[in-house]
Structure 1
Amino acid sequence: MCDKNKVYHSYFIEHKKAVDIAKEENVSKQAISKILKQFPEYIEEKERRKAQNHKKHNQQVGKIANQKRKQKNEEDNMLMEALKRQQEIHATVILSKKRKLGTDTLIAMSITHYDYNPNNQKLIFNEACGRKLVDLPRTIKVHKSTLNQFVQYSQNIESEKWTSNVEKKALK
């Protein structure tokens, strides 16, 4: 068997684990636990070690979480930097080209500010939409070949107006 005093000294003074003491004494862990349970301080020491291990575990979990968080932040920062660089490259390429917008393009961008007049086949700027920009024409003649999309758009709007008025009358 093993010496109680040696087990006591190893466990309580040197703070070794029961498994390590069992290996040194060439006995089972259960035999060491049986000897340790005979001492009145065993329960207190066991609770103290349990609290210490719990605190140590929490610190390790926190450290691992911080490492993962830092790694994720670094990856996100690298990705953001790459996206910023890519955006800057695209912006310089796009802005370096000289372009002029044609009248058709300007009108296409602001088509909602124009009303179609079917009598003379013209788009007329609607002042109720706001002030007219200097670059925009007040009226523009609709050619069937170039501005056919505007005619279709205005016809769709007129048909929607007609439908909605009919629906209003039907609901009254």
Structure 2
Amino acid sequence: MDVELVKKYYFEDKLKIVEIAKILGVNKSTISRVLKQFPEFEKEKERRKKESEKRAKEWRNEYKKQKRNEEKEEEEALYAGMMDLQRQNAMSMSKRRTLSTDTLVKLCITHYDYNKEKERLVFNESAGKRPADLPRSVYVHKNVLKQFRVST
């Protein structure tokens, strides 16, 4: 094996040990043994290690930055959706407009239980006292709301 060629590939061409081994068709351990003969090998090895660590650190920082941006975009989209919902609710509850019973019930649907016999939504006071503007019960036709449809 040509020792000078290995030296040229490693120190001048800056090839990795694995790449040199592949070019010359030998084991990488053979290339390492040859390179250990040169006094500048340890210094070059240390330089490459620091360079590699620097690249890894830059990559990690860029990755973290990208993740933060993704989280920020997701948070902004969620916030925009909430603001849009707030605007819609504010408009529907403005003084110029009155809410229909259906709209009121839809806004507070979690406070109602379905009574199958009477086909009605009945206010459940376990969540708190019923406000005066909410009806005690509301008739719901079985074809209107799918979640209350009676199975036959």
TM-score under structure 1 normalisation?
A: 0.55
Find the residue that maps to 1:39 and give its secondary structure.
coil
* Mapped contact 2:92–2:98 kept (Cα < 8 A): no
5+ unaligned residues in a row in structure 1: which ranges?
Answer: 100-172
1:31-84 CA-partner distances (Å, limit 9, x unpaired)? 000000000000000000000000000000001111111011001001100100
TM-score under structure 2 normalisation?
A: 0.63
Q: Which amino acid aligns with 2:88?
A: I
Larger Rg: 1
Shift of 1:97: 2.5
Query: Paired residue for 2:11?
Result: 12
2:62, 2:15 → 1: CA distance?
Answer: 25
1:69, 1:6 → 2: CA distance?
Answer: 47
Moved over 6 A (4+): none
Alignment root-mean-square deviation, CA: 1.2
Q: Which amino acid aligns with 1:4?
A: V
Query: Paired residue for 1:111?
Result: none
Shift of 1:98: 5.1
Q: Which amino acid aligns with 1:71?
A: E
Query: Paired residue for 2:36?
Result: 37
- Which one has the bigger helix percentage? 1
2:2, 2:70 → 1: CA distance?
Answer: 51
5+ unaligned residues in a row in structure 2: which ranges?
Answer: 100-152
Alignment of 1:1-172 (within 5 A): 2-95=1-94, 96-97=96-97
